[in-house]
Amino acid sequence: MPTIEHHDTTVRVRYAETDQMGVVYHANYLIWFEVGRVELMRALGIEYKCMEADDDCHIVVADVRCRYHHSARYDEVLRVRTRIAESRNRIVKFAYQVFRDTDGQLLATGETTHIICGSNGKPKLLPQKYRAILMTNGVVASDRSGA
């Protein structure tokens, strides 16, 4: 089973992601968080598409936080660092840092909290095959409530 402290992926700021002054629109950081999250999961051997199709397991965003430190601009290459901040039976939290690749400047930090749900929208337990991987690679929270 792979163990990863964090996973880095890069994105290049596209023109469509910026305002008239060439500065990245704030909501695009959330898209990059998703890119980082999907690539971390892929690096751990988990594919969202298979989770949904094979196990009726959806990772639904319940909370998002983003703190902006510096602006990103058109055509810059950014490094999105993603890690599993916490893992429970029904909840997974991811933490993110976005850096400018050329100089390592921290541009944004964030966190997303996800509830594991079936296609019916109701919370469910994360299947053991995924739980083992996520809990090995993240902070395991005490889980008395079953969350």
Residues designated as active site: 19
Q: Measuring CA to CA, how many Å separate 112 from each of 10, 65, 127?
A: 19, 6, 20
Q: Which residues pair with 68 in a beta bridge?
A: 108
Q: CA-CA distance, 26 to 38, in Å (whole number)?
A: 20
